[in-house]
Amino acid sequence: MTTPQYDPNTGQPISEPGQYGQAPTGYGQAPTGYGQAPTGYGQAPAGYGPPPGGTGYGQTQGGTGPGFAMPQAPYAQPANSLASVVRKRGLRQVITGAVIFLIGLLITVFTYKSASDSSGGGTYFVAFGPMIVGIIAVIRGLIAMARASKLN
């Protein structure tokens, strides 16, 4: 007589001899709707939000209540707004360009002064490069600052 074989997953005897070791029908497949959000997912259930017909939880029509109004200046803007970042970058370009231009101008003035003070004349150097680069940087910074005022 043969001993019956048992399914290791369920512990039940196997009725058909060829069924042992084979996966049941649908094994390893996701059930219907697996991974899909249930109906209405992401929507707040009823009862959330302001009460119907009222202005909301003891607040006046303005939304801030009496004595709690915060004044808003028309020129106030957050510290890290895009306009303030662009304005700071433009100002930095203007200052950097002015410094570079002044370095080129000082090189030119000092070499000219040295050449004019010598008895036999002399040569002097006109530093066009730093002066041109400085002027371009100043213009770019001013343009950036003008565009920053349009971002408000």
Strand partners, 13: 6
User: Six-digit token pair at 83?
Assistant: 């306009």
**pLDDT of amino acid 6:** 72
Which amino acid, one-letter code, is at 93? Q
Partners of 15 in beta bridges: none
Residues 6+ apart with CB under 8 A from 68: none
Which pLDDT value is given to residue 140?
Answer: 96
| Single pTM value for the model | 0.47
Distance in Å from the first CA to the final CA of the chain? 93
Cα three-residue angle 83-85-89, rounded to 5 degrees: 115
List the chain domain ranges: 93-145
Output the tens digit of pLDDT for each of the chain's 152 residues: 567 677 777 777 776 655 555 555 555 555 555 555 555 555 555 556 555 565 555 555 555 555 555 555 555 555 678 888 999 999 999 999 999 999 999 999 999 999 988 888 788 899 999 999 999 999 999 999 999 888 86
Q: In sequence order, what are the residues at sequence separation of 6 or more whose Cβ sits closer than 8 angstroms to the Cβ of residue 139?
A: 97
Q: Which two tokens stand for residue 68?
A: 């709690």
